[in-house]
Structure 1
Amino acid sequence: MDEERRSNNPNPEILQALEALKRASKEVEIIATTSDDGGCSSPSMRALLALETGSDDLFSGDPQLSPLRHLLSELRSLSSSLPSSPPNKSIGASFLNSIFRRPKSPHHAMISRVAGLISAEIQSWIDRETLDRLVSALRSQFSDEERATLLLALETRASEGFDRGFQDTLLKSGAFSVVESALADPGCAKVVRDRCAALIYALVRFNKDVFVGPVLMGSTIDSLVTIASPATLRALNGLIAAIKSPLIDELHSRGELQRLVSLLSSPDLEVQIRALEFALAIGYFGRKEAVEAMLAQGLIKRLLCLQRSELGGALIEIDSWDFPKENGRNSDHGIHVGRLLKPKQGKSKQLRFLEARPFASAVARFAVQVEVGEGLRQREKREIKQDILKRVKEAATSPVEAANVFAEVLWGSTP
């Protein structure tokens, strides 16, 4: 799509109109096989036929809209040739007709099929417009609100699941490199950079085969660590879960693990929580070198400090904790130290406890991730656990604290 078309469509009303037309086509697709007239009398059909009426002028300048133009023309032909149903002459006839419906003519199925194809073509149009506008917005002086809105729209689109047409449009637009540049730009507003991080994570989930490479080779990793906001750390943790060891190895080789471990001492509570999630993910997915690098940067000492805070404590205290009631009664679905259980209904007791005290048993939870994780061999797991216990003894403020943490690590890390 040329630059002239991109610059001539700066307003969001186009996208709103296209979304309305997509909804109309989906409605026709559904009602075509359920209504006697194939949906031809519906407002949605009238909207699509009105679009077909103006298609010569509207679509003539863009060859990518030629398939949509042909489909709309086919829809008009089908709607015009659909045999009309004779009117019911009585309430009784209407009742009997509702019970003994005659099979719909092939026209009904054809209208439904064409409407579905129209919906897909309109979605492709929306994708092109959104990507073009996003690239323009990130390169020009658009408002931060509009930039964030466009980024969120694409994140939502990518989260709908794989679509080859959307992927092709995305790659042709060059949007990934523009989004990555905006993420790395300290002049961009925080809300924009946070949304860029979320979009990149959504794209990796959309198709890891295509987008993992650019993430590992580009500036995304450095940007996420440098910004270190709750949103970018959330995206980083998601990327670790998706990419696993290759991303952790890249973080280790770039020397970023030290900076991320230091975030456990951040004055921002949510950053601390995300940093803890990061440490737990490294414990689960990381190779020996990465886990040892974090331990060497004082991980256990920092985790113990968090345990001593007001939001820390030990999971053993869960039995005496005053839980908020759910549906008029307390909920208790079982406890495993250092391990989150999937609740049978609602939230597990442990999950609710950790929401209120996110740093409880932080050391034991890290030890569990190492024990049950997939990044280490069994021999390496035993060595790391011994190293954890050694560092607990060195960092504990008293023999009592050390003994309590020892008990949690040895009990909680048992499968």
Structure 2
Amino acid sequence: MRPTDIMRGSPPPPEAQVTKANWRTYPAIRWGFTHARELLPTAAIRRAAQPSPLVEAQRELTGLTFTTPEGQPTTIAETLQATDADALIVMHRGVILTEWYGEGMSETTPHMLCSVSKSICGTLGGVLSARGLIDPSDKVTNYLPELAGTAYDGCTVRHLLDMQVGIRFEEDYDDPNGDVARYRHSSGWDVAPPGVPSGDQRGFLTTLRPSGKPHGKLFHYVSPNTDVCGWVYERACGAPYAKILSDYLWRPMGAAEDASITLDSMGAGRFAGGISATARDLARFGEMIRCRGLVQGRQIVPGAWIDDIHDAGDRQAWVDGDLAFVFPKGNYRSNWYTVDARRRDLAAVGIHGQWIYVDVASDTVIVKLATQGQAMDIAQDHRWLAGFRAITAHLA
């Protein structure tokens, strides 16, 4: 069955129905990732009353050829088809040159972002810090005393943003009985097995324990860290995360469409991976990052925060961490990856194929959304990175 046959009919036949039991598996994932609001409780992240304009000067870039890391010749068009891509936007110096959508997608279709949501959270932190609402150097327990005695006791907000918490948690997406499975049960993303209580996300966070390693020394990728970070924002601002994000980032940057975030049984958001948004609004977001936080002459995110993302990543913590093989020349800061520290190119990356690539050197922003059947596919990520580099070289 093709993804485009899913949820067809009134009602769809059983084999074509999408439920919480299958919404992130192929072929249901295409429908699931573009209809999260129909599957899970969500909160709206409100758009701007006047969207920031997007300038278009369409050019055919999908025919560009490049060589995969395995040495095979290919094109952008072939890669779109081979990697279950749903959307591609290439923006150069603020102008959209290429905008492509797969079947069932359009410029107004919201798409699940997975861990691109983390980079949005990290960027929002810069706004809140500049307004004096949070201090990245503060201890997490200053905001959330209920986390005393957990893995988060003694760590700072900066440790959350940089994934440098000494926590016992394995980010294994394929283990049905592992930490991620229990985390997803608590977040309301998966149905817990019979006899296993699903609980709630914040209850789950209080169960996490330290690894015995010090905070601030080692990059260790743990999605719940970002959920704790969003919880800090809520406590500091006295408002739900969706409203904070809308008021301080989404509306000010000129988003054209409402985004949304999934909620657990107690109304807590999945800040680490639960945002859905359109490709065009992600292009606006990426362009704001490229322009040091500026949108139409207005400073939305402090330029110094963007500079810090580029320049202050802890290279040694990254090298000693658990994802250095993905970007061997990179680092990580405020929930953004630096792909190559010498080039200073940034990436927001989510499982199943979500990307925002920001290359200041060539004035380029690329958004790519997908519904890959495999959660983490490094070969496809590296193929796309080669494609991004071919695009930036062509534009430069």
Q: Scaled by the length of structure 1, what TM-score is found?
A: 0.23
> More helix per residue: 1 or 2?
1
Which protein has the larger Cα radius of gyration, Structure 1 or Structure 2?
A: 1
Which protein is richer in strand relative to its size?
A: 2
Greater length-normalized contact order (CA 8 Å, ≥ 6 residues apart): 2
Q: TM-score, normalised by structure 2?
A: 0.24
